[in-house]
Amino acid sequence: MKAIILGAGQGKRLLPLTSDRPKSTIALSGRSMLDWQVSQLTKCGINEIYVITGFKARVLQDEIAELRLVYKGCTINAIFNPFYAVADNLVSCWMARRVMDADFVLINGDTIFHYHILRRLLNEPAAPITLAIDKKDHYDEDDMKVHLDGSTLLEIGKNLTTDRIGGESIGMIYFHGKGPGIFVDTLNELMRSDGALDIWYLSAIGAIAQTNRVEVRSIEGLDWCEVDFPVDRTQAETMVSNWVRQSNSKLANSNLSLVAS
């Protein structure tokens, strides 16, 4: 099992925080966003990780080098996307196509998630492609919305009408069995089309859903956050701080039990 993290963008909506560093290196409770992602991936047994770099690539590569020292036994490699400034994230996915040769999870670089989400996604009955989605009462213009038939994806996009919205993609997709090959074939096809540089990678998922089975898995009630704006960073900071407190509490209780015994 592999993980591919899309971290090539600058994250301009977080300026000035991202004026000299990519979004993935922004700190939450003293640890980079990438660090939090790697920590949750390794808790699910994923130890082969590829990070797509672009804006200020050397800064992100330095962070990856630090994380290799922390997560021993975990392979973390960078794949540079030289077109990050002129292309959308379809190109970032295409740059990683050669490592999409087995089951893998694709994750947005700004999606912070609890490992319970990934575990739920991986435990889903194996469809070739499965999206993690959340559901809420109101959806923003920027949400990547999904139109569903039960648990099967029909459409995905930001401009779905209200009557067709069944949830939002959280930026995490599991490719299993034939899924990686289907995705790579679609990436290659879209990259040959006019306007390829302006296409989101989720457009590839929407195209695949027209001819192949694409499923969704709801992660309602579990912790995640997409960090696009300063207010999102505050929310994510609160979320991971709670994780730290919960972990410390469990450790303290475990130590007390050992002392008592």
253 pLDDT tier (thresholds 50, 70, 90) = low
247 pLDDT tier (thresholds 50, 70, 90) = confident
Query: What would the mean pLDDT of 138-153 be, rounded to a whole number?
Result: 92
Query: What is the amino acid identity at position 49?
Result: I
Mind listing the domains of the chain with CATH numbers? 2-260 (3.90.550.10)
Residue 140 pLDDT > 90: no
Q: Which two tokens stand for residue 245?
A: 């407190």
- Residue 13, CA distances (Å) to 10, 48, 190 in order: 9, 30, 27
pTM surpassing 0.75?
A: yes
Closest CA to 183 of 99, 124, 119: 99
Considering the chain, what percentage of its residues have pLDDT values greater than 70? 95
CB 107 within 8 A of CB 3: yes
> Would you state the pLDDT for residue 256?
56
E runs forming strands in the chain: 2-6, 27-28, 31-32, 48-53, 75-80, 104-108, 111-113, 129-134, 145-149, 152-157, 167-175, 214-218, 224-226
Distance CA 13, CA 116 (A): 28
pLDDT tens digits for 41-59?
999 999 999 999 999 999 9
Phi, psi of 224 (to 5 degrees): -160, 160
Query: What would the mean pLDDT of 221-228 be, rounded to a whole number?
Result: 94
Highest mean pLDDT among 63-77, 124-138, 191-205: 63-77
Distance CA 128, CA 18 (A): 36
Using only the alpha carbons of the chain, give its radius of gyration.
Answer: 18
Residue 254 pLDDT > 80: no
Q: Count, in order, helices (H) and strands (E) of the chain.
A: 7, 13
> Would you state the pLDDT for residue 252?
58
234 pLDDT tier (thresholds 50, 70, 90) = very high
Residue 75 pLDDT > 70: yes
